[in-house]
Chain A
């Protein structure tokens, strides 16, 4: 028996070896995403990988196109009353959940209510809403106490988190209670049977999905699925992922490491492609509650000190993928501007920084930088930052930890002696900086602001006007006014902008560029 088994295995090996190249079936796409899908509910987290999961299995009422302008998606027709206080939405035909039942207006109302508990824009809508209710099975309305010019933009915003429509029974849960049914009305169905948390997740084409007729444009337009199945392989080791791409075992790597770019470019079967053209903005967040950065001059010193090119080189050695960044609204949003950016100097201005830190009354106290050693994108610039600070006489100390520790410690508002901190490095999607209501980084309301807790009443007064401004031009003017104040009190200091190309086999085409980090899986083709 044992001999027979061994002989059988031995005989079958050559055919298995020959069949290896056919492992990636023609209409199955295998992708290595930049993170591991750990949370399945896109309303419970701001993680990009969960957003991508949401894009696959759920649908949205509106969606942002490549110019970040809102376009109807699940909504067929919509209108607003003459007094601009009542919005009516009618769902388009053919919308159905993965279990075959129809999507109703009640599902949409419940989804809006749940999302609005955690999204800043949603909270704004609800604070002005008199009523959010269904009119009939396909129609619902939002009645406001006062007009809100930004309402459709907020509903379309794929921000933190996006408005994914779920079944009423799922959306009735509190947002802190995860929805794990993974039943949506989107273009892909989540395959529970093949789900291996930490290893791989499988998405099958939703046969009953009816795409819009418009051509696909970023997250908007027709979501036409051209493959039968997409598998997300969680390959933790980048070198292994690259080897698998070369061997044709996978088709796509979302974030290949920069040191492999040359190898990828030299392989005739592989290609680098930039899908997220606005990329990410790296930044320094300072603790405004503790010395020395409670003093605005110390924060201004940091602004003048930073040599953005030097920081970008350690994050992304190839300059074709990086740009300096001076606008608080990012480099590629509708509101990017150059107001009050005279501080920017190529190479930085350490002399000016020295003078400002002296004026801030800095007396050699320890400046603790939270250094996540398991996140290279923040760890390497943290080391450079410590060296840069020491050059102008700042007593910088790196506090090594993993990312999990960092996210806990940065919530500590206390002084260093009580486990507090002074600086951490983070990154923000450039696209999200075009939304001063939803982007936590752009708040300056003290205790309620993002970690670092900057406070500036003048800025907050301007920010409060954002939602009521009617036209794009008026918003651009307001953006300039906000930026003028922002670069005086310094909410954060930028290290620059970088984009990360994806790596794909040339047989995988039609990947959809988006203005943010989102990765839609419709439209792509293999073959």
Chain B
């Protein structure tokens, strides 16, 4: 097990290095000039040229790459071309909102999605199952921003129960933090609940048709015990896989929700950075996201061994 974890950690570093090289080249070879954006629309070409020189953008590509790679290895992700602040400081400012939204969304999605899926499988073809199918169809097909605007209209503008937008840091109090995250969490959870519920249902249906489930029923096991102690545990591996993938996608994919609810998270940071060609921020976020993606997958792989003792590495 320890060897496996070590091997995966080493491969994570390799993946991050490859992502770094790819991102660096992609950004430098794609059109766009941060100096022109800094200077403003009515700036003269001379003003832009001076800024390019100041930022070191006129240096040869290999020179820029070596400088950047050397800094990264020293733990320095550079400073934002625009704000002049350290990139890691900017990312850490934005990490809390994104992680808060992602974790809350996963908690809500997994709790409701798995519960829905289990009951839909238990009553396959029945009312709950059909309701779930309808919900899944809607959840998949209605864009997140439509759900968001609808909830804002209903609960923030009409009822005035919840704030329209914004984020309150958790150190300003648990209640304001939570209140500001209710609508974004519900909005973002809808497609994930639908997704997890569908996978849970399919996986549970397969397990429920197994002989040992019939044996458990014959022995007088309660419905709760059958569903949650016997079936769910055996249906757990594919569900866990989907949850892992969903969480990884979620971290990289909260941009729309952060935009609709004006949450200053990593998603908005990177979109703004792309628009501004703020290279150091884009590079750092993508490298960190790739690292997080690999680590989440590693965690999921290790979790398999907990729910299925037959799995060994």
Contacts and interface: CB of A to CB of B under 8 A. Distances in A.
Interface of A: 5, 8-9, 12-13, 15-17, 20-21, 23, 36, 38-40, 44-47, 50, 118, 120, 160, 174-178, 180, 196-200, 233-237, 239-241, 243-244, 246-247, 249, 374, 401-405, 407-409, 411, 426, 428, 432, 439-441, 448, 450-451
B36 A411 contact: yes
Nearest to B166: A249
Given A12-B174, A16-B175, A240-B259, 11 more contacts: A13-B179, A38-B38, A39-B38, A45-B40, A46-B41, A46-B42, A198-B269, A199-B268, A235-B262, A240-B152, A411-B45
B42 A8 contact: no
A411 B34 CA distance: 13
A426 B40 CA distance: 12
B80 interface: yes
30 contacts: A13-B175, A13-B178, A16-B175, A17-B161, A38-B82, A120-B44, A180-B83, A198-B264, A199-B268, A234-B264, A235-B165, A236-B262, A236-B268, A237-B259, A240-B164, A240-B261, A243-B156, A244-B166, A247-B160, A249-B165, A401-B31, A404-B31, A404-B32, A404-B36, A404-B277, A407-B32, A411-B48, A440-B44, A448-B44, A450-B44
Contacts of B84: 40, 178, 180
Interface string B43-87: 111011011011000000000000000000000000010111100
B305 interface: no
Contacts of A16: 175-176, 179
A384 to B, nearest CB: 21
A233 B31 CA distance: 30
A403 B175 contact: no
Contacts of B152: 240, 243
Nearest to B177: A9
Given A5-B174, A197-B80, A426-B41, A407 B50 contact: no
B53 A176 contact: yes
A411 B48 CA distance: 10
A513 to B, nearest CB: 22
A118 B47 contact: yes
B32 A402 contact: yes
A237 B161 contact: no
Nearest to A179: B84
A405 B90 contact: no
B79 to A, nearest CB: 10
Contact of A405 (B31, B163, B174, B178): B31
Contacts of B93: 196-197, 199
A249 B259 contact: no
B40 A244 contact: no
Contacts of B41: 46-47, 407, 426
A177 to B, nearest CB: 6
B88 to A, nearest CB: 13
A424 to B, nearest CB: 11
Contacts of A244: 164-166, 262
Given A21-B160, A118-B47, A247-B157, A403 B268 contact: no
Nearest to B34: A404
Nearest to A197: B83
Given A38-B82, A47-B40, A243-B165, A403 B160 contact: no
Given A20-B160, A36-B272, A408-B32, A46 B43 contact: yes
A516 to B, nearest CB: 12
Contacts of A197: 80, 82-83, 85, 90, 93
B122 interface: no
Contacts of B40: 45-47, 50, 160
B87 to A, nearest CB: 11
Interface in B26-41: 31-34, 36-41
A13 B176 CA distance: 8
A38 B165 contact: no
B42 A428 contact: yes
A198 B272 contact: yes
A5 B170 CA distance: 13
Contacts of B33: 404, 407-408, 411
Interface in B140-173: 149, 152-153, 156-157, 160-166
| Most A CB within 10 A of own CB, among B93, B163, B165 | B165
Nearest to A45: B40
Contact of A240 (B43, B260, B276): B260
A402 B275 contact: yes
Given A177-B54, A243-B164, A196 B31 contact: no
Contacts of B94: 198
B174 A8 contact: yes
Contacts of A404: 31-34, 36-37, 275-277
A308 to B, nearest CB: 21
A9 B162 contact: no
Contacts of A44: 38-39, 51
Contacts of A175: 50
Nearest to A5: B174
Contacts of B37: 38, 403-404, 407
Given A16-B175, A402-B32, A198 B268 contact: yes
Contacts of B90: 197-198
A411 B160 CA distance: 50
Contacts of B80: 197
Contact of B175 (A9, A39, A47, A432): A9
Contacts of B272: 36, 198, 236
B42 A441 contact: yes
Contacts of B160: 20-21, 247
Contacts of A196: 93, 264
A440 B48 CA distance: 13
A118 B174 CA distance: 49
| Most B CB within 10 A of own CB, among A12, A15, A176 | A176
A56 B15 CA distance: 46
A50 B83 CA distance: 12
A16 B182 CA distance: 13
Contact of B54 (A160, A176, A432): A176
A521 to B, nearest CB: 21
Interface string B239-272: 0000000000000000000011110100011001
B164 to A, nearest CB: 5
B42 A17 contact: no
Given A9-B178, A407-B41, A38 B83 contact: yes
A15 to B, nearest CB: 8
Contacts of B164: 240, 243-244, 246-247, 249
B43 to A, nearest CB: 5
A17 to B, nearest CB: 5
A13 B177 CA distance: 10
A408 B175 contact: no
Contacts of B264: 196, 198-200, 234
A23 B39 contact: no
A20 B163 contact: yes
A8 B38 CA distance: 47
Contacts of A50: 40
Contacts of A240: 152, 164-165, 259-262
Interface string B275-300: 11100000000000000000000000
